[in-house]
Amino acid sequence: MPIKTIEWTGGADGAARLIDQTLLPTELKYLDVTDVETMWEAIKVLRVRGAPAIGIAAAFGLYLAVRNSHTVDTTNFKAEVDKAAAYLASSRPTAVNLFWALKRIQRLVDTNAGQPVPSIKEMMLAEAIAMIDEDNAVCRAIGEYGATLLVGQADSLPYRILTHCNAGGLATAQWGTALAPVYVAAEQGRHIHVYADETRPLLQGARLTAWELQQAGIPVTLITDNMAATVMSQGKVNAVIVGTDRVASNGDVANKIGTFGVAILAKEFGIPFYVAAPTSSIDMSLASGDLIPIEERKPEEVTEGFGKRTAPTGVDVYNPAFDVTPHRYVTALITEKGIVRPPFHVSLHDLFAR
């Protein structure tokens, strides 16, 4: 079973415990977060990362922000919650789960405005903890549906998947999105082999996906990003599965930078390109991916990766954290409600009408 990424320890005075993913793969260290500022920093610098995990972290952060509030007036308390939510929302702009989770807690506070403030605090913490169980159920369902797509090879041969970045257990509470079908298929006794792109510039594929799969006993081969075309051309890949930080209502997909290129290659070589997308990552308010805000990160991630300078001082750097893959490259979305296929502007609306 995949390792737990984030959980709550103790009672109301406890802490949000999360893996510090900036230290992997050389060190597995847990952080106990007890204040909103530390949670904001953890989200910003990618100690916790992956859209679903960020959402859960933000929910805990919102509770931590007001846990010690002495306010007894619910109107003033709501103002404190809203201020903390705006602060947490400023940490990262692209992953819709961050805003989804904050709005969910804010709605809970609004709905229960007639209750005493201590009771509202208890409900906030309970809601954040409930998100973990919900995320596990959602990711497990994605795994069950996704595993049905991993067919077409003889039983004696491994089904070979290429993935980009990390959308495994480390990106969620435990099971992952893109890797959930891998874990489920392995449970079923099927032979699965994963090719993991290293994922420049922060190497989430090398540091996180490869480590996570090794921990789970899943065969994994690490490749650099610019090897994907060669690996596909050699017939080593049966399918691509990636995660997503936000999906627009037309099926355009925002994911880690480099995903768009992988999708183009998959289309060229006739390889299905699947996106594991919990419905919480689907933003039906956006007509297309052009409207998805793309985070741009500091140039040092490119010029001084992991503390060693690899580019001339003063060179201009463009460092978007994500790109948008147009829906025409997406074979299907794998959601907890089932497989969603084109035309997405119709099928996604049908999905939310269920």
Average pLDDT, whole number, for the chain? 95
pLDDT one-digit tens code per residue, 137-193? 999 999 999 999 998 765 668 999 999 999 999 999 888 999 999 999 999 999 999
Residue 44, pLDDT above cutoff 70: yes
Residue 93: pLDDT band with limits 50, 70, 90: confident
Look up 20 and say whether it is catalytic.
Answer: no
Does residue 77 surpass a pLDDT of 80? Answer: yes
Among 54-58, 95-99, 158-162, name the one with the lowest average pLDDT: 95-99
133 CB burial (10 A radius; 0-12, 13-18, 19+): exposed
Cα separation of 292 and 334, whole Å? 20
Distance separating alpha carbons of residues 78 and 223, to the nearest angstrom? 49
* Percent with pLDDT over 90 in the chain: 93
pTM given for the model? 0.91
Task: Supply the pLDDT for residue 2.
Answer: 64
Q: Which domains are delineated in the chain?
A: 6-140 (1.20.120.420), 143-353 (3.40.50.10470)
What are 2's two structure tokens?
A: 């995949």
Query: What CA–CA distance (Å, rounded) separates 265 from 348?
Result: 25
pLDDT in tens, 268-307: 999 999 999 999 999 999 999 999 999 999 999 999 988 8
Catalytic position from the list 245, 252, 283, 323: 245
